[in-house]
Amino acid sequence: MNARLRDVAEHAGVSVRTVSNVVNGFRYVAPDTRTRVQASIDELGYRPNLAARTLRHSRTGLIALVVPEIDSPYFAELAARTVRIAQHRGLTVLIDQTDGDFERERLLLHGKRGQLVDGVLFSPWAVAPADLAARTDTVPLVLLGEHDGPAPVDHVAIDNVAAAREATRHLLATGRRRIAVIGVQPRTLNASARQRLAGYRQELEAFGLAPVVDRERPVRRLHRSDGYQAMLELLDSETPDAVFCFTDQLALGAMRALAERGLSVPDDVAIVGFDDIEDGRYSVPALTTVSPDKDQIASLALDALAAQGKPPRSIIAPHELIVRATT
């Protein structure tokens, strides 16, 4: 068994109170008492028991980051930044992976974690705003990414409509007219996808072009294979001169399909992605993409968590279009 506060106290010949004071850096401890206690601590290898502390303070210093999949590059990069920023603030991040499973997401929302964490950063995939509203758990919650409909929770996202318009405008500006999109979500789950689609349509319309239904390709998930598949389907009907993919992963999959069909990027088909994951910076050719400011997202979300209690806010993080070699 590990040494307890009392063991140290006995060893040093003082009371537990004094040891506690030393451990917590309390000011009023006689210097030599402090030295003696510290020596006992070292000798016994004492480590404070976090569970007991938590029970006392009813706060754990732990926050949960809930994502569909941690090995999806966007989430991996977001997680890395979140962990780093949280560390700076004295917080530890516990990562939960739902695999996009509705039941797991619901469980998490309703406090499966018990009082283990002080707050939850939640990137939903399957649950809808209504589920959020029905939440019974009381731990502070901040939503990551778009969601629509009124839900009584803070959320941090970029302006997806504006970002999609910029991406589309850029494609139009480089002379493309047959612009397709890949990444429409079949079920109405994914608000980000819906907003990106809306932005794309708006910009087309503003330019005087009518949307073509066959150019709006749905995908089941947002993996490379889905982008690959969707691109092949797109090529079966008509070859577009540009494709706006709702994630970089989809874009990379699409590029692979183009390469296999012997089509050149960007000469035959221009590609724009979304997320600015590292792979896109090193793909051949390098991927033009919408870059959400992930540091800001993490940072703002952590702020929102800390500021809970105030009325729920909708926080917009910055983004920018990064033009590389695919356009």
Residues that bind DNA (CB under 7 A): 1-2, 4-6, 9, 13-18, 20-21, 23-24, 27-30, 33-34, 46-49, 52-53, 55-58
Residue with tokens 């803070």: 154
Residue with tokens 């494709």: 243
**Distance between CA atoms of residues 99 and 217, nearest Å:** 23
Site string for a second copy, 89-118 (x = CB under 8 A): ---xxxxxx-x-----------x-xxxx--
Residue 138 binds a second copy (CB under 8 A):
yes
Query: Do 177 and 209 contact (CB within 8 A), yes or no?
Result: yes
Which ranges of 47-159 does DSSP label H, i.e. alpha helix? 50-57, 73-88, 102-109, 129-133
CB under 8 A: which stretch of 58-66, 144-152, 231-239, 316-324 binds a second copy?
A: 58-66
232-247 residues labelled b (16+ CB within 10 A) or e (exposed): bebbeeeebbbbbbbb
Binding segment (CB under 8 A) for a second copy, from list 8-16, 29-37, 131-139, 147-155 = 131-139
CB of 38 to a second copy, least distance (A): 15
- For DNA, which is the closer residue by CB, 43 or 103? 43
Binding residue for a second copy, selected from 129, 183, 253, 266, defined by CB under 8 A: 253
Within its chain, how far is the Cα of 130 from the centroid? 21
Site string for a second copy, 2-41 (x = CB under 8 A): x---------------------------------------
Q: Least Å distance between CB 148 and a second copy?
A: 27
Give residue 106's identity as a one-letter amino acid code: R
H/E stretch holding 179: strand 179-184
Of 8, 84, 96, 88, nearest to 44 by C-alpha is 8
Q: What number of other Cβ atoms are within 10 A of residue 30's Cβ?
A: 9
Q: Which residues contact a second copy by CB under 8 A?
A: 2, 45, 47-55, 58, 60, 62, 69-71, 73, 76-77, 79-80, 83-84, 87, 92-97, 99, 111, 113-116, 136-138, 224, 228, 252-253, 255-256, 259, 278-279, 281-284, 286
